Chains A and B, each alone.
Chain A
């Protein structure tokens, strides 16, 4: 059997999806922290998949790499941006999706797609409001809450965090702590501030249903809830929101094989 591979090396985590070419079914997938040596991480991703599935490396006939370090995947056949990959991946899972919101470690993106999963328009955060995922991580650490527990600490009675710049937002949170604000209210404020920023990004391209949220931050239910309230649409969150970019890369790879 022939396989194709999608590899997405993001700023915080690296993802890979192995797809069986003829059936276009996902054979296996894996997620690793990106780490410092991205080339090595990419190799480890493939080793993991081979180990899991028992296929031979030669069975992988086409690899598309994407994400921040897409150029560092030495074995990739082609490199495609994560915007086109998200478009394809989400279209595969949710054909009615028209707006994709991807909130990653470094970048947030609002993507407009059509019924074929083609990329129509997009906006990305500006440099000074970068690092949403990282911001959550740092905040979780200063508030002494495990990252995955942040959502459950989120209070609706939140204090407002209004800085758009991530660095300023961090110092604003420090101010709130100094003022003696309740911890859960601060957590609520952090989630609100992320949702506000993402909403502004989505407004640049306009929101059209169905809306799908991907990326690591999509696992945080409080952010998703806050976004739902602001967008006035119920967003869909894929079961594995982190791997949709790698999935899209695998789908693009599968399409290429058809043309060979």
Chain B
């Protein structure tokens, strides 16, 4: 019951996203998982990731008038969203990938930027895990703080930031708990990802309340699940309707290794300090050293180790990679990771789709065949 109510609330927001944005004047759109949400919330903005499930009418010109067909399908979807919705605030991720690098310029050259649009171009480091990039990221989030202070006229205090961090830490922990419940058969992947979707667009306190109520509700339910267990791995892939549309996949995924899935929740930020600079440093360490990186980043072996350790922990039987068409980093990462899996004789399936899942029939057939292959038919 609780879940149905939540689902309908999320779906309503997704299907009438312009209204949702209208109601939430303080929505801050962002693109990638390495933007420090804690700072956004500390300034009383709601961090909202642009999801692929979103429905809206393309009133203006289509992205095909702007992009060649070989440009990444996710950046197409994001551009489509940006030119067809009245966005007031956004943080652009620069130095992320070759498509996002010039996305803002493309918007500007097409005169598709709304009036009074407030934006920040976050110059992310590609290198991850080392001292230089942690120090650099800290300076870049300081620049972000300055921008927020100028935009809002409010000063950031260590108290505000600390309570924001506490909330986000709690939210991440709860999502991890639910992720473990998937493995225990207490909750389904489609439900987990519906919750993740909601928690990527609702205010953080509201997300926490919802997640808590679901955990309480589901403690007793136990479903046995006979299908072979696999890990779903990818980076930018974020259309979680795939679990609704391919029921066998929903049953088979034991653990997800996705940017907007487990990789955005398996880290914690230390807020045991009252010194603002120390807290900012802790945020930097968490995002640059602790958060499991994405395919665009340079952190040798981190992704491989994370995938393999979860493969062993969940006793999975295979790995399904998924990425959006024309995403070079993900296509490369898939090949690089699969090389390590091949050495260990782990069965692999690679799926390529686009944010609207237009080839869903074909994906379903491939998933079914793969599960037949690795299971006892």
Contact = CB atoms under 8 A, between A and B. Distances in A.
B61 A200 contact: yes
Interface stretch (B130-138, B169-177, B356-364): B356-364
A164 interface: yes
B361 A162 contact: no
Contacts of A259: none
A199 interface: yes
Contacts of A164: 64, 69
Interface residues of B, number: 15
Given A175-B361, A178-B361, A203 B61 contact: yes
Nearest to A230: B62
A197 B362 CA distance: 23
Contacts of A14: none
Nearest to B356: A162
Contacts of B63: 200
A126 B68 CA distance: 7
B65 interface: yes
A16 interface: no
A162 B80 CA distance: 14
A175 B359 contact: yes
Residues of A contacting B: mostly: helix
Contacts of A175: 359-362
Contacts of A128: 69-70
- Interface size grouping (class) on chain A: 20 to 34
Contacts of A202: 65
A162 B69 contact: no
Interface in A149-167: 162-165
Interface in B51-89: 61-66, 68-70
Contact of B62 (A163, A165, A178, A203): A203
A179 B69 contact: no
A182 interface: no
Contact of A163 (B68, B358, B360, B361): B358
A201 interface: yes
A228 interface: no
B57 to A, nearest CB: 13
B260 to A, nearest CB: 23
A48 B21 CA distance: 65
Interface in B252-278: none
Contact of A172 (B66, B68, B69, B359): B359
A162 B62 CA distance: 12
Contacts of A201: 64-65
A192 interface: no
Contacts of B360: 175
A129 B69 contact: yes
B356 A171 contact: no
A233 to B, nearest CB: 14
A202 B69 CA distance: 15
Given A128-B70, A162-B356, A171 B65 contact: no
Question: Which 7 A/B pairs are nearest by Cβ-Cβ distance?
Answer: A203-B65, A200-B64, A175-B361, A203-B61, A200-B65, A200-B62, A128-B69
Interface of A: 126, 128-129, 162-165, 168, 171-172, 175, 178-179, 196-197, 199-204
Given A200-B65, A204-B66, 4 more contacts: A126-B68, A162-B358, A179-B361, A196-B62
